[in-house]
């Protein structure tokens, strides 16, 4: 590649060039750094956390640095990325400004879909301007087109992408298939304008004009069949609409006492009894009131929207059946279940003594959250009697700061917590009851195996010391024989005495029972009660004397 062309690509970016050449000196800017020795290289990595370096094979001072870093010489140049002061990977994406910019914004992320060489038959729209241009010019030239609104982190989107690409190949010359990442910074307004409430969302257009959403299977052939005969879905949806309207009317009259004072209507109430129903279920004929449909972004039918105190809050597009509508209107936190509903004020306190906690971060309008909710609740019920297991839920529309703290980018996001912040991990399993149950059992078995594998010798105590844990501590101290309990830091290694040792950091339930404030702490128990606390020297002799002085406590109790 011509070096001059290379500079045109690199100069607008925050990229560091590890070479010294006449050309670099002529075009040097504040965003390009020339380095030639190892000291400069190390200083650079100490002060910058996200660095791309271009190594060029040229007979100059920089060649010594390349040799010291063991940079191969087979190719004219190499591009390498360094993250947090360490080598991360060789740059293996397209050598364009856009690709390199995308990489530097998220060097550990997946390859953006628009850069996937297998997805070249998809029209990748970068932003709202590109979307508008596509509808006005590109799609307007074709009778049929479809746009997929997606988010990179969405699992359903990842599954659908290859099917969508194959459908685009099959429809080449017949229709255009486009896609836009609406989770990208700057594209959030697109979700509001186009009423995107879940991912993926697919809209069908004719000559650049919206017709209706695609609600078929996420399979290649289903999408191809739809694009070749969209009217088939229209007829199917008409029957579904008639049935949905019948059930909606039934719901309006049958469940009025269960709805509560939450729903505000757009136009007219459906003969509700205001003394029994403080809220209203209502309907709008958007063909007669197109201004209302346009105002609230109605692009398909039926569209259900939720209002509170006269203001639009979010879409209820998934709700069709009576139970779905009632469930949607009633806040999850008001439903009796084994799930603990948490916010910023209660989050830490609720989790700090829980060994295994699964927390679902959700939004009330999220369709995928609604699907996961009953499975999550049933799993929570399975562990309702387990004191060290908890299932929690956080409404991110009400606790935005808390969700931001845990980097919640989409809904639902599910995370595993152990003792609040001792261990935090993303939950990546399935979203069925059995999946959640299996996950908790796996965590419990792992903890049990760790406890079983740990011996007093391994913990740094003599052979006469017994280790106790949350699971058996109460049973151990229930003995009438005096039990000298040592709550210790794992680093403390005492002599072999007749004692029970507990790692308070690993067993917070024991620490709570004993009222432990500092470490190490020594207490004497009998019949499940504290009878004395040792405050003497940490020598074996003094501890043994203390135990002997209380040897008759068994008879006294």
Q: Which of 295, 314, 329 is the last residue of a domain?
A: 329
128 within some domain: yes
Beta-sheet pairing, 423-426 with 209-213? unpaired
459 within some domain: no
319 within some domain: yes
Residues 487 and 424 in one domain: no
275 within some domain: yes
d(CA 194, CA 148): 11
CATH code at 216?
3.40.30.10
- Nearest by Cα to 452 from 434, 471, 439, 433: 471
Residues 56 and 123 in one domain: no
Residues 480 and 444 in one domain: no
Residues 98 and 117 in one domain: no
541 within some domain: yes
Report the pLDDT value the prediction gives residue 29, as an integer from 0 to 100. 43
Q: Is 366 helix (H, G, I), strand (E, B) or coil?
A: coil
d(CA 142, CA 162): 23
Residues 430 and 504 in one domain: no
Strands (E), 258-372: 268-269, 282-283, 305-308, 311-315, 340-341, 356-362
Q: Which of 448, 480, 515 is the last residue of a domain?
A: 448
Q: Note the pTM of the prediction, 2 decimals.
A: 0.41
Quote the domain boundaries for residue 493.
465-556
d(CA 526, CA 51): 62
Distance of CA 288 to the CA centre of its chain: 42
Render each residue's pLDDT in the chain as its tens digit; 557 residues: 333 333 333 433 334 333 333 333 444 444 567 777 788 888 888 878 888 888 877 767 667 777 778 788 778 888 888 988 888 888 888 788 878 887 888 787 778 888 888 888 999 999 999 999 998 887 677 789 999 999 888 888 888 999 999 999 999 989 999 999 998 878 888 887 888 877 889 999 988 888 888 988 889 999 999 999 988 766 655 555 555 555 545 544 444 433 333 333 333 333 333 333 345 778 888 777 777 877 787 877 778 887 766 677 667 665 666 666 666 677 788 787 889 999 999 999 999 889 999 999 998 878 788 889 999 999 999 998 888 899 999 999 889 999 999 999 889 999 999 999 899 999 989 999 999 999 999 888 876 555 554 565 666 555 556 667 666 667 777 766 665 555 443 333 443 344 677 776 566 667 666 666 566 778 877 777 787 888 777 666 777 777 777 665 444 44
Residues 346 and 325 in one domain: no
Q: Is the peptide bond before 433 cis (omega within 30 degrees of 0)?
A: no
Report the pLDDT value the prediction gives residue 232, as an integer from 0 to 100. 73
Strands (E), 279-351: 282-283, 305-308, 311-315, 340-341
456 within some domain: no
Residues 320 and 255 in one domain: yes
Residues 206 and 258 in one domain: no
Residues 479 and 541 in one domain: yes
547 within some domain: yes
d(CA 45, CA 67): 18
Q: Which of 418, 448, 478 is the last residue of a domain?
A: 448
Q: Are 52 and 81 in contact (CB under 8 A)?
A: yes
Q: Are 513 and 481 in contact (CB under 8 A)?
A: no
Residues 147 and 187 in one domain: yes
Residues 183 and 216 in one domain: yes
Cα separations (Å) of 180 from 24, 36, 323? 37, 42, 34
Question: Based on the structure, what is the number of domains in the chain?
Answer: 5
188 within some domain: yes
Residues 21 and 41 in one domain: yes
Report the pLDDT value the prediction gives residue 328, as an integer from 0 to 100. 67
* Rg from Cα positions in the chain: 32
């Amino acid at each position: 590649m011509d070096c001059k062309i290379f500079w045109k690509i690199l100069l607008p970016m925050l990229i560091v060039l590890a070479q010294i050449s006449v050309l670099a000196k002529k075009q040097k800017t504040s965003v390009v750094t020339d380095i030639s020795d190892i000291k400069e290289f190390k200083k650079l990595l100490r002060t910058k956390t996200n660095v791309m370096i271009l190594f060029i094979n040229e007979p100059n001072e920089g060649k010594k640095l390349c040799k010291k870093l063991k940079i191969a010489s087979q190719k004219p140049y190499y591009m390498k990325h360094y993250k947090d002061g360490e080598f991360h990977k060789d740059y293996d994406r397209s050598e364009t400004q856009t690709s390199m910019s995308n990489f530097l914004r998220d060097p550990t992320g997946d390859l953006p879909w628009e850069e996937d060489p297998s997805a070249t038959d998809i029209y990748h729209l970068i932003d709202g301007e590109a979307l508008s241009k596509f509808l006005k010019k590109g799609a307007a030239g074709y009778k049929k087109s479809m746009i997929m609104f997606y988010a990179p982190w969405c699992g359903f989107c990842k599954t659908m992408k290859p099917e969508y690409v194959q459908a685009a190949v099959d429809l080449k010359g017949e229709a255009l298939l486009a896609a836009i990442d609406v989770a990208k910074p700057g594209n959030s307004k697109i979700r509001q304008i186009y009423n995107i409430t879940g991912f993926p969302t697919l809209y069908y257009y004719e000559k650049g004009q919206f017709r209706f959403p695609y609600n078929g299977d996420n399979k290649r052939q289903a999408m191809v069949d739809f694009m070749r005969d969209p009217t088939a879905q229209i007829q199917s949806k008409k029957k579904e609409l008639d049935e949905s309207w019948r059930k909606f009317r039934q719901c309006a009259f049958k469940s009025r006492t269960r709805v509560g004072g939450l729903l505000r209507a757009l136009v007219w109430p459906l003969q509700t009894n205001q003394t029994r129903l403080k809220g209203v279920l209502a309907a709008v004929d958007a063909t007669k009131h197109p201004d209302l449909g346009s105002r609230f972004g109605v692009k398909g039918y039926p569209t259900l929207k939720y209002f509170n105190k006269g203001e639009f809050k979010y879409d209820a597009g998934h709700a069709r059946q009576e139970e779905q509508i009632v469930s949607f209107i009633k806040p999850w936190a008001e439903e009796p279940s084994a799930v603990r509903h948490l916010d910023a004020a209660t989050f830490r306190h609720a989790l700090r003594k829980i060994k295994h906690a699964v927390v679902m971060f959700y939004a009330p309008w999220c369709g995928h959250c609604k699907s996961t909710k009953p499975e999550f609740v049933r799993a929570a019920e399975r562990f309702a009697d387990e004191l060290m297991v908890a299932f929690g839920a956080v409404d991110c529309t009400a606790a935005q700061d808390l969700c931001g703290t845990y980097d919640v980018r989409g809904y639902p996001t599910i995370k595993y917590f152990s003792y609040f912040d001792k261990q935090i991990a993303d939950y990546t399993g399935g979203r069925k009851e059995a999946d959640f149950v299996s996950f908790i059992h796996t965590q419990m078995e792992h903890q049990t195996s760790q406890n079983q594998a740990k011996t007093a010798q391994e913990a740094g105590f003599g052979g006469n010391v017994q280790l106790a844990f949350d699971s058996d501590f109460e049973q151990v101290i229930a003995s009438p024989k005096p039990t000298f309990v040592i709550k210790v830091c794992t680093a403390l290694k005492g002599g072999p005495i007749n004692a029970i040792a507990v790692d308070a950091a690993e067993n917070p339930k024991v620490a709570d029972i004993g009222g432990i404030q500092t470490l190490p702490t020594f207490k004497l128990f009998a019949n499940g009660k504290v009878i004395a606390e040792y405050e003497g020297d940490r020598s074996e002799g003094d501890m043994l004397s203390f135990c002997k002085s209380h040897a008759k406590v068994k008879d006294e109790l």
